Amino acid sequence: MTMERLQLICLPYAGAGAAVYRGWQRLMPHWVELVALDLPGRGLRQAEPAVWDWRELIDSVMGSLGRRIKTPLALFGHSMGALVAVALARELRVRGAPAPVSVGVSGCVAPRRRELNLTWLDCSDERLIAELRSLGGTSPEVMGCRDLLDLILPTVRADFHLCGSYQPLDRTPLGCPFLVLGGQSDPLSQPRDNLSAWSLETSGVCRVEMVSGGHFFIHESEASVVSLVASSLAALEPVRSGMSVMS
């Protein structure tokens, strides 16, 4: 009997595209189909203007998914991608679409612990560059070349605004389990309440795990992160009862 694969939809962090998950599929079990999405302004959607409005962004993500959505499905996002993943889960519920069986959020302060910051759209390029440098995820080649920085700054500016303006209109908890990942050296993962407060976003089980590395621990400890995500998916009842999870 052929078992249906679980679809894992992955959302990238600020300024990045689907390519950040390039190495994940080879590390995932055969029963996981990884779908990494490019948001407007990056990757395959580089020609599109970056989006700084949450309603427009989620409509765009839903449009890019279209009929590609399969069941069972799970969501995962790192940093800004975590906020997109949760917003997408809520939008699926509103539209009566298949609900995710799991949501993974990584390197991101929980919504109830976030503070509004509406300064990014109007701040100087120098402030944006300083923030990029402090996060440490941009390559030295890009950080050392103003022409390359000028190419990515509009998208970074929009993404930082999205992170600073996130306020879900619907506070009704989701019903699926959450996997919450934090970096042991990531300032955003401290205090621990920044991560444990994700439990307020779901009526399901909320599992918090710490991983070696700073804010971009999904690259520093990629194999560990993928292993945690895969094991959390394998433990789900819809997966155990409906699909073979043997390698």
CA 54 to chain centroid: 14
What is the chain's alpha carbon radius of gyration, rounded to the nearest angstrom? 17
Residues with a catalytic annotation lie at 79
Q: Which residues contact 46 (CB under 8 A, 6 or more apart)?
A: none
39: tokens are 């948001």
List the one residue out of 156, 220, 133, 158 whose CA is nearest residue 184: 220
The whole-angstrom separation of Cα 130 and Cα 246 is: 46
**SS3 at position 41:** coil
Residue 14 tokens read as 């600020």
Chain centre to alpha carbon of residue 1: 33
Count the alpha carbons within 13 Å of 5 in the hemisphere toward its beta carbon. 15
Q: Which residues contact 74 (CB under 8 A, 6 or more apart)?
A: 6, 7, 8, 9, 100, 101, 102, 103, 104, 233
Residue 125 is encoded by which pair of tokens? 């390029």
Specify burial of residue 208 (Cβ count, 10 A radius: 0-12, 13-18, 19+).
middle
